[in-house]
């Protein structure tokens, strides 16, 4: 075999490999439509979306409007404080799972102070005592442990 034949064969092999590589890139990720075609829950998800839209339009939004008219600002602030207070145990657990012991202690301190002196969390006494507030969730904890984002 001559040197010219070897180079020609090598060139054809490289062209074939490059073509296969490009063909693999061309297929890429499936489109959203293709993914939806394989979603076994698509029908029920669409029905749930329609139901939630009606519930929002006819129940949630009117209730929210009535709440704003009937409940004065201090009452709304107390409800907001209470709902924020309910998230503190979850934040505490996630602080500890992330290895944030100092932040966990601050969260526990906020919870104890607002539970006792804040009448169950309706008043935010801990902020006046300069105990910082923050939020954590399990997604952040997974990210700290190196788990990437996943669709499932």
For residue 106, which of 136, 141, 132 has the smallest C-alpha distance? 132
pLDDT at residue 41, rounded to an integer:
87
pLDDT score at 20: 63
d(CA 38, CA 143): 29
> pLDDT class for 109, splitting at 50, 70, 90?
very high
Q: Quick one: angle between helices 101-116 and 73-86, nearest 10?
A: 130
Poorest-pLDDT segment among 34-38, 50-54, 121-125: 34-38
Find the helix or strand (DSSP H, E) in which 120 lies: none
Which residues neighbour 104 within 8 Å (Cβ) at sequence distance 6 or greater? 92, 95, 96
Per-residue pLDDT at 103 exceeds 80: yes
Q: What is the pLDDT of residue 107?
A: 97
CB 138 within 8 A of CB 119: no
CA 130 vs CA 6, 43, 125, 133: distances in Å: 78, 50, 9, 9
State how far Cα 116 lies from the chain centre.
Answer: 31
Mean pLDDT of 29-51: 80
Residue 133: partners with Cβ closer than 8 Å, 6 or more residues away: 84, 110, 126, 127
Model-wide pTM > 0.75: no
Q: Three-state SS for 117?
A: coil
């Amino acid at each position: 075999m001559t040197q010219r034949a070897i180079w020609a064969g090598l060139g054809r092999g490289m062209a074939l490999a490059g073509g296969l590589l490009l063909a693999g890139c061309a297929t890429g990720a499936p489109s959203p439509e293709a993914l939806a075609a394989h979603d076994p829950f698509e029908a029920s998800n669409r029905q749930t979306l329609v139901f939630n839209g009606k519930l929002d339009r006819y129940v949630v939004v009117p209730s929210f409007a009535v709440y704003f008219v009937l409940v004065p600002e201090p009452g709304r602030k107390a409800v907001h404080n209470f709902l924020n207070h309910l998230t503190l145990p979850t934040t505490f657990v996630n602080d500890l799972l992330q290895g944030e012991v100092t932040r966990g202690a601050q969260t526990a301190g906020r919870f104890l102070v607002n539970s006792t002196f804040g009448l169950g969390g309706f008043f935010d006494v801990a902020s006046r005592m300069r105990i910082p507030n923050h939020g954590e969730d399990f997604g952040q904890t997974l990210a700290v442990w190196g788990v990437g984002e996943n669709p499932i």
